[in-house]
A and B are shown apart, each in its own frame.
Chain A
Amino acid sequence: MALTKEQIAQRIARELQQGYYVNLGIGIPTLVANYIPSGMDVVLQSENGLLGMGPFPLAGQEDADLINAGKQTITTVKGSVFFDSALSFGMIRAGKVNLTVLGAMEVSDCGDIANWKIPGKMVKGMGGAMDLVASARNIIVAMMHTNPKGESKLLPACTLPLTGVRCVKKVVTDLAVLDITPQGFRLLERAPGVSIDEIRAKTAGRLVVEGEIPELRFD
């Protein structure tokens, strides 16, 4: 069974470590915040200018001056701090953010990522994605393994305009967890009941399969 979006987020949350500062992109990455292990200190960075992002507010407590990078109303937590957008990207560029999680349209087997532009369609812009992928020390991509047409999104080379080059470290899809290595995608784990053959068939880029590949388990 392929993973749900919630399960993809749950799996990515296992990469979190005590004391991490984390930037979560829009979509599946946002859900990772729901699975931070209790007792672990993780501070969420919102690139519009906030460290220490809390949950959505209760109805009636929305504050127009307090939003996240997706323009959603949010709250602060104990120890939150606000800053301007240059400082925000300064801490990103300087490598202070430990982990960046974002979505993608395509990832190549050398870690290139495309997630901002489809030729022929209205281009909305890259926002902060190019800054994040160019500087983050550890980048995990959360996405579906294939596009709605069933075509692989894990490619030998991206076909869409790039967001960043040789930057993605790990990909978590609905079918598998894969590291990016000099030899290509290395299969680490597979979704429950999903065969290596299926993953191989749906991975267009170079795929390395070595030894036993455990199935993902969720409690």
Chain B
Amino acid sequence: MNKVVAGPDVAIADIMDGATLMLGGFGLCGIPENCIAALVRKQVRELTCISNNAGVDDFGIGLMLAQRQVKKMISSYVGENAEFERQLLSGELQVELIPQGTLATRCLAAGYGMPAIYTPAGVGTEVGIGKEVRNFEGKDYLMEMAFDADFAIVKAWKGDTMGNLIYRATARNFNPLMAMAGKITIAEVEELVPAGELDPDAIHTPGIYVHRIFQGTGYEKRIEQRTVRSV
């Protein structure tokens, strides 16, 4: 079984206007840089993007926002992006803010084949408005639905030709969860190896969840907040 495609443009070729995409990454860490660039080239529009953050003005999902390709963002935190703010305030862009753990677990539920989860996050706040509340052993929980995304686009450190994936450090974040949750999952990796070369015990995402994989090129891996100590 070989899931390798030539590159990002081929991998995203069937993403059409109005699609719902999941995009892995936390801030700019572990984002699918090659596929974002290809989506910008393809000029696909009216996208709903499920991603923890929305990039910065000139990197990450910010590149798609700059081309007005995004209709709606579903995120937990969207700071650090002036163009995002402008589009939101002008009504061009819709945003749905949801708690970070809820975002992660709604991905998990989709990948685990469960329709919904119960979480205490947001009980008694505006996040809970209109949602079913259930009490278990004296504590209230909100019912939150599994995500339904047409495509999940993730970035891994290593992958093999069968789509098995390994992530590195905190670049793992939402990537394995979204990889499990897409109807079609596209993975870009820093290093693509033949099947059999990855230690089966070390694989984070089993290839059954991954439909297309390619080796990315030219990773910038921009650092959002470079912070150092002196001694």
A1 at the interface (CB under 8 A from B): no
B176 closest partner in A (C-beta): A84
Number of interface residues of A (CB under 8 A): 51
B228-A58 in contact (CB<8A)? yes
Give the residues in chain B near A125, CB-CB below 8 Å: 75-79, 97
Closest CB of chain A to B27's CB: distance in Å? 4
* A64 lies within 8 A of B97 (CB): no
Size range of the chain B interface in the assembly: 35 or more
Closest to A73 in B: B227
Is A89 in contact with B29, judged by CB distance below 8 angstroms?
A: no
Please give the distance in Å from A77's CB to the nearest CB on chain B. 13
In Å, the complex CA distance between A72 and B127 comes to: 28
**A210 part of interface (Cβ distance < 8 Å):** no
| Contact string against B for A residues 76-114, beta-carbon threshold 8 Å, 1 for contact and 0 otherwise | 000000111110111011000000000000000000100
Q: Is the CB of B225 within 8 A of A71?
A: yes
Contact A122 B101, CB 8 Å, known A57-B228, A134-B121: no
Chain A CB within 8 A of B207 CB: no
- Tell me if A217 counts as interface (CB < 8 A to partner B): no
Looking across the interface, which residue of chain B has its beta carbon closest to that of A66? Answer: B169
B121-151 vs A, CB cutoff 8 Å, 1 = contact: the mask equals 1111111000000000000000000000000
**16 pairs from A and B in contact (CB 8 Å cutoff):** A47-B100, A56-B228, A58-B228, A64-B28, A71-B27, A73-B223, A82-B169, A84-B204, A90-B105, A93-B101, A122-B89, A126-B97, A127-B99, A130-B102, A134-B120, A165-B123
Which B residues lie at the A interface, using CB under 8 A? 26-30, 52, 75-79, 85, 88-89, 97, 99-105, 107-108, 119-127, 157, 167-177, 204, 221-229
Q: Which residues of A does B touch, CB under 8 Å?
A: 46-50, 55-59, 61-68, 70-74, 82-86, 88-90, 92-93, 112, 122-131, 134-135, 161-165
